[in-house]
Amino acid sequence: MLGKAAVVGPARPRVPDEVLLVLVVRAAHELAHRLLRVAALADATATLLDAIGPAKRRKVETDLFREAQSPGDLALRLGSIELLGRAGGPGTALELQKQFVTQGLVPSTFTTAEYSALIREDYNKWSKLIKDANIRPN
């Protein structure tokens, strides 16, 4: 008598490469749109920080540094670092660099214009791919 074969569950259907490509391109397109919105939001927030008084600004910067160093939510940490990088006072860049090095990271620096250009370049690259592949949202 032969033993029964183990049943591990239903077979997963193979997803065609074309479908995977469409999904990846859609995800890249959405990410590019979100990054452009985040860059605009960060610029606007930095402008708001520039408008507040020095005492309150120091408090905000202290709170942002605390958030950047906290072991909690990564998105909150990255957002705090982004704002400090855009609107931090004297010595902020040096302090941020120390924080990165402490965590084993080597930061590369971008001006706001350079970062915006990088995002736009990625957006244009992925937009061309989407158009060339004739990908349309459902």
Are the C-beta atoms of residues 80 and 68 closer than 8 Å to each other?
A: yes
Q: What is the largest CA-CA distance in the chain?
A: 85
- The count of other CB atoms within 10 Å of the CB of residue 12 is 6
pLDDT tens figures, 32-58? 778 778 778 877 877 887 788 888 888
The pLDDT mean for the chain works out to 76
Report whether pLDDT(95) > 50.
Answer: yes
Give the pLDDT band of residue 10 (cuts 50, 70, 90): low
**What pLDDT was estimated at residue 13?**
67
